[in-house]
Amino acid sequence: MTLLVRDEANIVAATVEHHLAAGVDFVVATDNGSVEGTTEILERYRDAGVLELRHEPSHDYEQSRWVTTMARRAAESHGADWVINGDADEFLWPGAATGLDRTAISDALAAIDSRCGTVEMVRDNLVADPARSGPWPSTHVLRDTLSLSGRGARIGNKVCHRGDPGVTVGVGNHSATGALGGLAAGRPLRILHVPDRGLAQFTRKVANAGSAFAANTRLDPGIGWHMREDYQLLLDGEQQQRQVIQTESRDTSVS
């Protein structure tokens, strides 16, 4: 598994623990100049021998290049059969499973046709139950069955892929190309996505991602539009108001 993270101290340990418990053998992580404790958390997993830690301090959103480097390293140096390119706020869940064990992910991927090399994964946002209080793992127990983006369409799927030293991973981990084989017909894995864990965290996420996109003049302006738009709202002082509206609209779309 690969992880590209920046300032995710309140979730990254849960991410690593969840995927190790579900059968991920090893994590290749890149810390993108975190300043609030994320680096130190990753160092503990590195010291435990379950994670390789890399550093990319520049804040210019070269995500595709950095994740591609990690994915290739997972294949070349760690012998990965499959590579999951994840974000700190994403938790894989086998679609038919009612619980997790050390074979959950590997069993799901073992059923993929050998001629196929990529697997599409649908994402569902987890949102807070207004009747609960406490840290996000206690409150974010509702699955948003619509999971709409700011433009009204469903949030994009991600892909995982077979290990390949020549793979190229697209921006956002939405695609992977190389000598991988075709796209699998089934979708045995889903992603539970927890992007919004409180106003302070979400504001920091928008500021980090939005400023990084703005600093990268090589990317098409349409890439990362959702973060670019949220960042502009943040600069205009409207982000908090929009978040409240989105939270209220979820009341009719959770299960």
Mean confidence (pLDDT) of the chain: 89
Of residues 75 and 153, the one with the higher pLDDT is 75
pTM listed for this prediction = 0.85
| Domain parsing of the chain, residue ranges | 2-252
With a cut of 50, say whether residue 252 has pLDDT above it: no
C-beta of residue 134 within 8 angstroms of C-beta of residue 170 = no
Residue 56 has pLDDT above 50, yes or no: yes
Q: Assign 248 a pLDDT band (cuts: 50, 70, 90).
A: very low
pLDDT in tens, 159-190: 999 999 999 999 999 999 998 989 999 899 99
Between CA 171 and CA 168 the distance in angstroms is 10
**Is 186 in contact with 113 (CB distance < 8 Å)?**
no
The per-residue b/e assignment along 5-28, b for 16 or more CB within 10 angstroms, e otherwise, is bbbbbbbbbbbbebbbebbbbebb
Mean pLDDT of 111-116: 94
Higher pLDDT: 217 or 248? It is 217
What does the pLDDT look like over 81-99, one tens digit per residue? 999 999 999 999 998 777 7
Contacts of 124 (CB under 8 A, 6+ apart): 143, 144, 145, 147, 190, 191, 192, 193
